[in-house]
């Protein structure tokens, strides 16, 4: 039988906040320096740099993996500063190693790729290495997100209109589907907030004011997460399906999508696929 | 091999230390299973089997589906290095097997911590304490709501607290029965260690399986307690049920043993769960 970490183990920083005094034997990996003695609890006290046990490192990586999974579940891009503050704490010196190990585990165990949102942004998201399948929806526990439908429509709209669209055009289109900026929607709730705030915060969309417009108008484009999670070809196929047509029926967009596919297929130099 | 910012090697890295023996091998079947499992807080056994079959179908149509236990053990051996595991438990009211992905290294309510605000978590903690202290394993809505003023964090009114309690029921942390609340199997799976450590004096333990007991039956003479499914199993073929500890007559009705075979025949739907004779072989 293997040796599980003893029940007192509480490496999660949140846990400490909630439970108050954790008791004597808490192999927490992140303690404020407590003038550690290198005595019998050497492996458990706040370690000097480089004197951490393998187990402590393993626990740290485990914490980091969980942290990344939870944050990504909410579609919040994960900032390096958050990682340092909430998980890595006093293991800053090995931050890169921890992140690398966490990324490895995420890929091997869960099939998620840890990817930087934009080169050098130090902000990360998880991309699914597995291709989602329609039947997944039947066995999921979280009903997916009903808002995904609306997002797909907007992404399709943006692409088909040449990769940028004004907010006015968006509402003109959505009105025809019974979706209004000022009216609560049965499925989408507050569509205006969804489109101009939530999707933007999740980095699916970019939302920018168009200067010198009166009344003021905004432009919408694909955000970095969209470029990473899907592709022009996939979106074009979606649009084609909705219209019960073939992607080739839109030659301009089809060519653009093909070029994008070629771009993606080229071996990645270092960073993630860049926007066209 | 994968590409991405961190070029990861396909095989597991040398996460030694905690591993005793070979860790299992993950394939896309296992990964999809894990991904979809994580979208649930807790699953019943038939849902887990359905999920397993789905994943096989998507990736590897022709392979024989592993026995569920082996399948899960394989995944758990890989999850070990991450201090999480797919844990199997039994519902306290009717002995149905359930599964949840639980944290091994931390013993607090941390999984809830990401979904609820500070005051909501504190409300749960208060409800938890009342449940553990109670004789029946249930805490009344009234008693819980009366503690609303003592909560940490943002001030909560009773009306809001009622809604928060419903949130707990919906996300399967609590069960509600006739205005009273007890712990869902999910909460027991996730928090057993934490509860046993935090409330060592008031916590109740089952005399048969020695696990945490919230709901159960107790001997009126000597006070020992047993889970309903444990009672069912222990007294299965007993003509005269007697307390295993003091030998006095067991004063309660003996419940039926959960029979997974019948469950599966019925297609795993709840409505078909009929009352079964326990005297079967």
What are the tens digits of pLDDT across the range A110-135? 999 999 998 999 999 999 999 888 78
Residue A272: what pLDDT?
47
Give the pLDDT score at A227: 92
Separation between Cα atoms, residue B108 and residue B101, nearest integer Å? 15
Give the confidence band of B11 by pLDDT, cuts at 50, 70, 90.
Answer: very low
Does residue A84 carry a pLDDT above 50?
Answer: yes
Split at pLDDT 50, 70, 90, the class of B177 is: very high
Structure-token pair, residue A273? 């696929």
pLDDT band at B14 (very low <50, low <70, confident <90, very high): very low
- ipTM > 0.90 (yes/no): no
Nearest to A276 by CA among A239, A226, A240, A237: A226
Span of A56-65, A143-152, B113-122 with lowest mean pLDDT: A143-152
Q: What is the mean pLDDT of residues B127-137?
A: 95
Does pLDDT of A96 surpass 70?
yes
| pLDDT range class, residue A200, cuts 50, 70, 90 | very high
DSSP state of B60: -
Greatest C-alpha distance within chain A? 74
pLDDT attached to residue B245: 92
Residue B145 scores a pLDDT above 50? yes
Nearest by CB: B110 against A14, A74, A140: A14
- C-alpha of A133 from chain center: 19
Are A201 and A130 a contacting pair, CB within 8 Å?
no
CB atoms within 10 A of CB A42: 12
pLDDT of residue A210: 95
| pLDDT over 90 at A164, yes or no | yes
Separation between Cα atoms, residue A54 and residue A64, nearest integer Å: 15
Q: How far apart are CA B202 and CA B187, in angstroms?
A: 17
How high is the pLDDT of residue A248? Answer: 95
How far B198 CA sits from the closest chain A CA (Å)? 9
**pLDDT for B197 beyond 60:** yes
Percent of all residues in chain A with a pLDDT value above 90, rounded to a whole number: 53
Residue-wise pLDDT tens digits, A203-226? 999 999 999 999 999 999 999 999
Distances (CA, A) of B76 to A59, A125, A130, A221, B25: 16, 25, 20, 42, 10
Q: Which span out of A122-126, A143-147, A261-265 was modeled with the highest average pLDDT? A: A122-126
Q: What is the DSSP string of A203-238?
A: TSEEEEEETT-SS-EEEEEE-HHHHHH--HHHHHHH
Residues with Cβ within 8 Å of A224's Cβ and at least 6 positions away in sequence, in order, are A117, A118, A203, A275
DSSP state of A29: S
Closest C-alpha to B46, from B262, B263, B235: B263
CA–chain centroid gap for B140, Å, is: 22
Q: Which of A2, A11, A12, A54 to mutate to test the interface with B (most CBs of B within 10 A)?
A: A12
Can you give the pLDDT at residue A21?
36
Longest dimension (CA), chain B: 67
Phi first, then psi: what are they for A198, rounded to 5°?
-60, -50
Residues of B in contact with A59 (CB under 8 A): 83, 105
Sign of the dihedral through C-alpha A166, A170, A172, A173: positive
Optimal mutation site among A104, A122, A125, A228, interface B, most CBs of chain B within 10 A: A104
- The pLDDT > 70 percentage for chain B reads 83
Q: Are A228 and A234 in contact (CB under 8 A)?
A: no
pLDDT at residue B45 is higher than 80: yes
From B86, B55, B36, select the one nearest B189 (Cα to Cα).
B86
Mean local confidence (pLDDT), B95-105:
91
The pLDDT of residue B170 is 92
A106, pLDDT greater than 80: yes
pLDDT over threshold 50, residue B8: no
- Whether residue A40 has pLDDT greater than 80: no
Stretch A182-191: mean pLDDT: 88
Closest Cβ–Cβ partner in A55, A63, A109 for B79 = A109
d(CA A201, CA A142): 21
Taking the CA of residue B135 and the nearest CA in chain A, the distance in Å comes to 25
Give the distance from CA A28 to its chain's centroid. 28
DSSP state of A249: G
- Give the pLDDT band (50/70/90) at residue A267: low
Name which residue leads in pLDDT, A273 or A233: A233
Q: Say how far apart CA B202 and CA B85 lie, in whole Å.
A: 27
Return d(Cα A26, Cα A37) in angstroms, integer.
Answer: 15
Distance, in Å, from the CA atom of A12 to the CA atom of B135, rounded to the nearest integer, reads 33
Write down the residue that tokens 């860790």 correspond to: B23
Query: Band of the pLDDT at B272, cuts 50, 70, 90?
Result: very low
Contact B82/A62, CB-based, under 8 Å? yes
Residue B63 burial by Cβ neighbours in a 10 Å radius (0-12, 13-18, 19+) = exposed
Q: Per-residue pLDDT for A2 more than 60? A: no
> Tokens representing A18?
């909630």
Average pLDDT of chain B, as a whole number? 84
Confidence of residue B260 (pLDDT cuts 50, 70, 90): confident
- Name the more confident of A120 and B18: A120
pLDDT the model gives residue B143: 95
B41 to chain A: closest CA residue? A141
Does position A64 have pLDDT exceeding 60, yes or no?
yes
Mean pLDDT, rounded, for B212-217:
96
Residue A18 CB contacts under 8 Å (≥ 6 apart), including other chains? B108, B109, B110, B113, B121
User: Chain B residue with minimal CA distance to A53?
Assistant: B17
CA–CA dist B157, A25 (Å, integer): 39
Q: How many A×B Cβ pairs under 8 Å?
A: 167
Distance from C-alpha of B235 to C-alpha of A165, rounded to nearest angstrom: 71
pLDDT at A26 over 70: no
Which residue of A lies nearest to B194 if distances are taken between CA atoms? A7
Is B217 a residue whose pLDDT tops 70?
Answer: yes
Residue B258: the pLDDT is 83
Q: Helix (H, G, I), strand (E, B), or coil: what is residue A79?
A: strand
Q: How far, in Å, CA of B158 to CA of B163, rounded?
A: 9
Asked if the Cβ–Cβ distance from A23 to B193 is below 8 Å, we say: no
**pLDDT of amino acid A262:** 93
Mean pLDDT, range A29-35, rounded to an integer = 39
Structure tokens at B58: 């998507």
Residues comprising chain A, all counted: 276
């Amino acid at each position: 039988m293997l040796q599980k970490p003893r029940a007192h183990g509480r490496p999660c920083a949140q846990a400490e906040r909630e439970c108050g005094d954790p008791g004597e034997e808490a192999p927490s990996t992140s303690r404020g320096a407590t003038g550690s003695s290198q005595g019998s609890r050497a492996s458990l006290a706040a370690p000097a740099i480089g004197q951490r046990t393998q187990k402590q490192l393993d626990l740290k990586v485990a914490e980091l993996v969980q942290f990344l999974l939870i944050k990504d579940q909410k579609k919040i891009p994960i900032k390096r500063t958050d990682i340092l503050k909430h998980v890595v704490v006093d293991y800053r010196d090995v931050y890169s190693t921890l992140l690398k190990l966490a990324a490895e585990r995420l890929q091997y165990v869960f099939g998620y790729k840890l990817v930087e949102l934009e080169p050098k942004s130090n902000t990360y998201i998880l991309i699914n290495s597995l291709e989602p399948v329609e039947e997944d929806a039947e066995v999921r526990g979280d009903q997916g997100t009903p808002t995904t439908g609306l997002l797909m429509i907007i992404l399709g709209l943006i692409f088909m209109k040449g990769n940028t669209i004004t907010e006015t055009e968006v509402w003109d289109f959505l009105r025809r589907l019974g979706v209004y900026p000022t009216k609560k929607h049965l499925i989408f709730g507050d569509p205006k907030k969804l489109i101009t705030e939530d999707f933007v915060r999740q980095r699916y969309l970019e939302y920018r004011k168009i200067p010198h417009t009166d009344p003021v108008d905004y432009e919408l484009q694909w955000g970095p997460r969209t470029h990473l999670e899907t592709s022009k070809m996939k979106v074009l196929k979606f649009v084609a399906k909705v219209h019960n047509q073939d992607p080739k029926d839109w030659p301009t967009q089809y060519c653009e999508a093909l070029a994008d596919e070629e771009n993606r297929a080229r071996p990645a130099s270092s960073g993630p696929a860049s926007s066209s | 091999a994968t590409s991405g910012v961190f070029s990861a090697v396909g095989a597991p890295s040398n996460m030694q230390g905690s591993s005793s023996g070979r860790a299992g091998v993950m394939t896309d079947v296992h990964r999809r299973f894990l991904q979809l499992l994580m979208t649930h807080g807790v699953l019943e056994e038939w849902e887990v089997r359905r999920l397993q079959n789905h994943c096989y179908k998507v990736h590897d149509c022709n392979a024989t589906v592993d026995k569920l236990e082996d399948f899960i053990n394989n995944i758990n051996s890989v999850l070990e290095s991450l201090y999480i595991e797919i844990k199997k438990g039994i519902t306290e009211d009717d002995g149905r097997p359930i599964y949840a992905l639980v944290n091994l290294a931390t013993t607090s309510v941390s999984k809830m911590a990401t979904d609820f605000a500070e005051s909501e978590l504190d409300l749960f903690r208060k409800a938890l304490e009342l449940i553990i202290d109670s004789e029946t394993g249930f805490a009344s809505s009234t008693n819980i709501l009366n503690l609303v003023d003592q909560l940490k964090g943002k001030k909560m009114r009773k009306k809001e607290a009622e809604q928060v309690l419903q949130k707990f029921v919906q996300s399967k942390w609590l069960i509600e029965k006739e205005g009273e609340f007890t712990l869902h199997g999910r909460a027991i799976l996730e928090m057993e260690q934490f509860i046993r450590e935090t409330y060592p004096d008031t916590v109740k333990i089952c005399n048969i399986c020695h696990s945490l007991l919230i709901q159960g039956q107790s001997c009126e003479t000597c006070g020992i307690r047993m889970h309903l499914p444990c009672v069912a199993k222990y007294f299965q073929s007993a003509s005269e049920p007697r307390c295993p500890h003091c030998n006095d007559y067991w004063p309660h009705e003996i419940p039926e043993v959960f029979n997974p075979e019948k469950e599966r025949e019925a297609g795993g739907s709840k409505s078909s769960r009929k009352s079964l004779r326990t005297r079967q072989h």
